[in-house]
Amino acid sequence: MPAGPAPRIQVTGRARAGKTTVRHALSLISAEETSAVDRPGRPDPVLDADLYIYVLPGDSNAADRRILATLPPDRTLVVLNKADSIGIRWADAAESAETHSAALQLTVHPVIATLAARTRSGTLTEADLHTLHRHRDHPDPAFTLAPDLFTSPSIATDTAARESLLSRWPLYGISCALTALHRDPTLPAVTLLQLLHSASGIDPLHTDLHHRYEQAATRLNP
């Protein structure tokens, strides 16, 4: 990469879209997180970086489209965050990302930033694994569709353990881990963590960001 000033990255989007979580999931320590673009009565944040990461909280609205129309497509990545809330399968989130990409004329990546951030910073503890193994063969997979179903006392006597697991891992990750362990109970923790990281969708986004970053660096340091 050429020597010289590093490209500036701004992470922006609506309030509660998950900007901070996306930044942590990508390990963008030096990236600038802007104020929300949809603050009533407040001016839009100043967007003057070399690269932009725009975070959508599962869908776009008029404020998103207004701001995105002003950003250069070759320097903008859109994150369709909270992809686990879109439909019931990852394919639903991928299809939604493609629809948004066509409508916005921008690259859109479906991501579950909470899961990606957790796999980057945390590990599956022995207690986590014990709880997961205890329920890997649960007869009704629908018990992972909602937090109250997963932590229901009617499932088993380990309610506190399930609540503890849910406090550290998003429900989508727990569901993926249970499915993986049901198919192969011998999976070690490190492999299971890698599977969860892949399931977050963060790697394609990270690869695309790295490519755009190198292009931005070349523009700054020809």
Phi and psi at 86, nearest 5°, equal: -100, 110
Q: What's the half-sphere exposure (Cβ side, CA atoms, 13 Å) at 120?
A: 19
- 124, 193 contact by CB (below 8 A): yes
> Are residues 215 and 139 part of one domain?
no
> Are residues 170 and 210 part of one domain?
no
> Are residues 45 and 101 part of one domain?
yes
Q: How many domains does the chain have?
A: 2
For the whole prediction, is pTM greater than 0.75? yes
Low-confidence ranges of the chain (pLDDT < 70): 1-3
Residue 2 covered by a domain: no
Give residue 21's domain range. Answer: 9-112+201-220
Residue length, the chain?
222
> Are residues 191 and 130 part of one domain?
yes
Decide the pairing of beta strands 76-80 and 107-110: parallel
pLDDT for the residue 141? 81
Which CATH number covers residue 49?
3.40.50.300
Consecutive H or E run containing 182: helix 171-183
Residue 1 covered by a domain: no
DSSP 8-class letter at 21: H
Residue 102 covered by a domain: yes
Q: Is 51 left (phi over 0), alpha (psi -120 to 50) or beta?
A: beta
> Are residues 189 and 210 part of one domain?
no
Tell me the per-residue pLDDT of 161-194, one tens digit each, with 9 for 90 and over: 999 999 999 999 999 999 999 999 999 999 999 9
pLDDT for the residue 3? 62
